[in-house]
Amino acid sequence: MKVTAKQLAELLGGRVEGDPDVYVERPARIEEGTAGSLTFLANPKYEEHIYKTEASVVLVGEDFKPKLPIAATLIKVGNVYEAMAQLVSHFDQKPEVSPGIAATAKIGDRVSIGEDVSIGDYVVVGDDVSISSGCQLHPFVYIGNGSGLGSDCLIHGGVQIHHGCQLGDRVRIHANAVIGSDGFGYVKGQDGKFKKIQQIGDVIIGNDVEIGANVVVDRASLGSTIIRDGVKLDNLIQIAHNVDVGENTAIAAQTGIAGSTQIGPDCLIGGQVGIVGHVKVGAGTEIQAQSGIASDIEPGSRLYGSPALPYNHFLRSYASFKNFPQLISQIRDLEHRIVQLEKKLEQVRPKG
């Protein structure tokens, strides 16, 4: 794809500052930009690079005011990240996959397959499965009995979707994710040994959900584990049985959510967050990385720490407890001085 800055600005509803006729043909990071590339500046932390980048065009915010001359042509837009995401999709040159079923694929009985579906090598599809139009199943995918895929789903290699799980439209699941594995349910018998509680529920995934590589979403013990419309899950996330993740929530890598927890819509959850079971996280909550959530959270909260505290409270507390060794030393020094002063007072205090 080769386009001018003017064409890009028209596509994005932006404004050109510089040469409107300069061509770009590929995206690049701002610190690695070369002639013919398009890049962006959204985080002020990277502003130094815009003054020396060799990229031909840079997307910037409407309020960006350069401190030094810039050689590149600028396109000013309202939301830089959104504009760049829109453009990257235009530059995406993934090879097209032809519809059809590979000779090595194994398709069960009573399987419904829509139009323009691509099923790759060594895919296994169980009985009574529904695969809607436009789906792509890459090699080594497993779809269990009674599962259903909505239209235009993209399932990458090695993904396992176990029996009875239902996916909405335009779901993307990356390599080696597991949907519908057994929840972690056991009870100790009188003999002291754990006995497995059969997990007979399912998993329901809404529309426009993206699930990263090596994510595990457990089936419910009873009822459903639910990932609602627009949810984005990073790699290496554990979603336990009967969890309900609200619409348009994004969760970063290595987060674990224990059973029967409800995550509200529009939440942002950082990496390596741990959330205990049977709690409710309110809508619009933001949780910083490596925080621990052990109780219900009010909507709109911003939390940090383990156990998590309100974000600003944590920062104020951290300013103190990072200095604890020094503070303890000062306290011991003061205690020693007080002891010495008491001894001196005792010596000068009148007798009788």
* pLDDT tens, position by position, 249-285: 999 999 999 999 999 999 999 999 999 999 999 999 9
Per-residue model confidence as pLDDT tens digits over 149-202: 999 999 999 999 999 999 999 999 999 999 999 999 999 999 999 999 999 999
Q: Can you tell me whether residue 336 is helix, strand or coil? A: helix
Query: Which is higher by pLDDT, 322 or 241?
Result: 241
Between helix 80-91 and helix 5-12 the angle, nearest 10°, is 120
Q: What is the pLDDT of residue 174?
A: 98
Distance, in Å, from the CA atom of 235 to the CA atom of 237, rounded to the nearest integer, reads: 6
Q: How far apart are CA 70 and CA 89, in angstroms?
A: 27
pLDDT at residue 289, rounded to an integer: 95
Report phi then psi at 333, rounded to 5. Answer: -65, -40
With a cut of 80, say whether residue 94 has pLDDT above it. Answer: no
Is 200 within 8 Å of 162 (Cβ atoms)?
no
At 309, the pLDDT band (50, 70, 90 cuts) reads confident
Q: Mean of the pLDDT values across residues 41-67?
A: 95
Residue with tokens 């529920």: 201
> What percent of the chain lies above the pLDDT cut of 70?
98
The set of residues, in sequence order, having a beta carbon less than 8 Å from that of 172 and lying 6+ positions away, is 153, 154, 155, 156, 209, 210, 211
Any idea which residues carry the catalytic annotation?
Answer: 241
Give the percent of the chain with pLDDT over 90. Answer: 82
Q: Would you state the pLDDT for residue 352?
A: 59
Query: Which is it for strands 15-17 and 73-77: parallel, antiparallel or unpaired?
Result: antiparallel
Would you state the pLDDT for residue 93?
65
**Average pLDDT of the residues in 124-153:** 98
CB burial of residue 98 (10 Å; 0-12, 13-18, 19+): exposed
Integer angstrom CA distances of residue 78 from 12, 61, 68, 116, 155: 9, 6, 22, 37, 33
In 30-129, the DSSP E strands lie at 37-40, 57-61, 73-77, 100-101, 106-107, 112-113, 118-119, 124-125
From 237, 241, 198, 183, select the one nearest 214 (Cα to Cα). 237
Structural domains present in the chain: 3-91 (3.40.1390.10), 100-312 (2.160.10.10)
The per-residue pLDDT of the chain, averaged, comes to: 94
